[in-house]
Amino acid sequence: MDLLNQTPQELAGMMRELGQPAYRGAQVFDWLHKGARSAGEMTNLPKALREALQFTPPTVVERQVSRDKTEKLLFRLEDGQTVEAVLMHYQTGKTICVSTQVGCRQGCAFCASTIGGMARDLTAGEILGQVLHCGTPVDRVVLMGIGEPLENFDATTRFLSLINDPAGRNMSLRNVTVSTCGLVPRILELSELRLPVTLSVSLHAPDNETRDLLMPINRKYPVEELIHSCEIYFDKTCRRMTYEYVMIDAINDTLGHARALGLLLKGRPAHVNLIPLNAVAGRESFRPSPAPAVERFAAALSAKGVSTTVRRRLGSDIQAACGQLRRERLAL
């Protein structure tokens, strides 16, 4: 029973079906979002109801801690599948990076998450469970772990509703970031919801030739079409776009690429995160850009007036950095 997937209204209906007053649904929702791991913890419910409510939230079965205090969490799901999440500690609070699918089918050439393909989508409850059962309250959530959130669109948007619900965690959606490799129709569909979430687009190249090499999705939705959908997203939501750009030696890190990216984004409400490539077993043909190349690239973007940050490499020693999460173990 995926209780974490249910809204307060749905739980109220479930209570009526079980012969209980509807208000019990609000009590169950409150317990779930406080992190209850079993119905036995819900002490204000009748014993018979507690015995009837069986659920298995995502469970941390392995926790690795990086030198920089970043934590990688291996979650086991009810059917034995596993996904990874990453808990990052900042001076401004804690951020958790969660997965939305078991594996990924997008095939980005530099990413570990696509190795082994995809087993299935997560439910909204399984996404939420990573937040609620990571072992500590968090301040921000990023849907940037394993999987493509917008391919699992219904579960992703249901998760946003659940995490934002005033009766639960009541997290502001301004503290939530949704990533995408560039599924244009889904970006447009998300824009129609006018949610104040930050949309983070994995761009990684300013031109179609280079992006085709790195990201198969570009052959279906090329750069020009992607950027246009992002303009529409901004117009609908007034949320500045974030573009992720993995820096790969001799592939996408030349000054020519920097100037092309600067021209592409100049004058647009955008911020670029430059991410030196993190090592991935099985992707040894790609190497991270040297630090001087990253610095030159950032300077060239800044010269075009494009807001730019070089992202810190958190958790790379435990394979928890960007692009390193993977579907390694299918059952524990």
**One-character DSSP codes across 174-218:** GGEEEEES--HHHHHHHHHHT--PEEEEE---SSHHHHHHH-GGG
322 is catalytic: yes
Query: For residue 22, which of 39, 34, 10, 36 has the smallest C-alpha distance?
Result: 10
pLDDT value at residue 317: 59
Q: Which one of the listed residues 17, 41, 84, 104 is annotated catalytic? A: 84
Rounded distance between C-alpha atoms, residue 138 and residue 123, angstroms? 20
What are φ and ψ of residue 271, in 5° steps? Answer: -130, 135
Q: Where are the beta strands (DSSP E) in 26-106?
A: 59-65, 71-76, 82-90, 93-97, 101-103
pLDDT digits (tens, 9 = 90+) for 25-45: 999 999 999 999 999 999 999
**Rounded to 10 degrees, what is the CA torsion of 160, 94, 110, 301?**
100
Could you give the CA distance from residue 110 to residue 33 in angstroms, rounded to a whole number? 36
133 three-class SS: coil
pLDDT of residue 332: 40
Is residue 239 within 8 A of residue 195, CB to CB? The reply is no
Mean pLDDT to the nearest integer, 127-137: 96
134 and 60 Cβ atoms separated by less than 8 Å: yes
* Dist CA 74 CA 87 (whole Å): 11
- The whole-number pLDDT of residue 285 equals 79
pLDDT reading at 303 higher than 50 = yes
From residue 105, give the alpha-carbon distance in Å to each of 73, 75, 84, 312, 323. 22, 20, 16, 27, 14
Helix (H) or strand (E) holding 9, with range, is helix 8-17
In the set 108, 111, 230, 322, the catalytic residue is: 322
Is there a contact between 58 and 43 (Cβ–Cβ < 8 Å)?
no
- In this predicted model, what pLDDT tens digit does every residue of 246-268 receive, in sequence order? 999 999 999 999 999 999 999 99
| Residue range 211-254, pLDDT digits in tens | 999 999 999 999 999 999 999 999 999 999 999 999 999 999 99
Q: Beta strands 118-121 and 82-90: pairing type?
A: unpaired
Give the dihedral sign, CA 173/3/326/151.
Answer: negative
Residue that has been written with the tokens 């919801």 in this structure: 193
Q: How many CB atoms lie within 10 A of CB 6?
A: 22
Q: How do beta strands 198-202 and 241-247 pair?
A: parallel
pLDDT of residue 282: 67
Q: Give yes or no for a contact between 86 and 325, defined as CB atoms under 8 angstroms apart.
A: yes
CA-atom Rg of the chain in angstroms: 21
CA–CA separation, 260 and 290 (whole Å): 20
